[in-house]
Amino acid sequence: MRFVVPLFLLVGASLFLSAHHSPSHPCSGPHCRGAANCAGCTDSAHCPGCAGTAYYAGAEGAAVGRVPDVARQWMDAYNSGDAARVAALYTDDAWYLSAHIEAHGRPAVRSYFERGIRAGGHINHIRVLDEQYDARMAFVTATYEANNAGQLVNGRNVLVFRNVNGRWLIAAHTSVVAD
């Protein structure tokens, strides 16, 4: 029963976001006039499927960071041994789920990654396979390669991000190591 909420969140986000287009679409909004995307748009409200996403201007005209940038920030923080910086990429009420742990809340997430860092974990690369956005949430699938306790592992991630005050934070993160 403990997995119902995170699973519902992942499935719900997937269904919700799949109904919207990714931000790399040619925009038909009157403010973009057919541009490849809305990166330079100062009024993103015209495209409700994408308003506020990484490719659109925020309320003050500043662009919201792209989710793949968060993947790079995550890897850099982890590989530098800074679990606090990794945890700062998660919402206060985030979930991290894997075969090894069910961590709920930023302190529990931080504690889990501190153990991995102390054990010598290192992320070799993260490859974002797909990203879907709307104004408040993003859904990302990715693969990764890591060295865990001296063993090379390949895994898969599904992440749900929430846009919190113009910053993409991880609300749910599930990780599966390949057999």
CA nearest neighbour of 168 among 74, 36, 37: 74
Q: What is the tens place of the pLDDT at every residue in 103-127?
A: 999 999 999 999 999 999 999 999 9
Separation between Cα atoms, residue 179 and residue 66, nearest integer Å: 31
Just give the CATH number of 67-177: 3.10.450.50
pLDDT range class, residue 71, cuts 50, 70, 90 = confident
- What number is the average pLDDT over the span 69-76? 88
**Whole-prediction pTM:** 0.66
Q: Does pLDDT of 64 surpass 60?
A: no
Q: Where are the domains of the chain?
A: 67-177
- What number is the average pLDDT over the span 7-35? 43
Local structure of 116: helix, strand or coil: helix
Q: What is the tens place of the pLDDT at every residue in 77-109?
A: 999 999 999 999 999 999 999 998 999 999 999
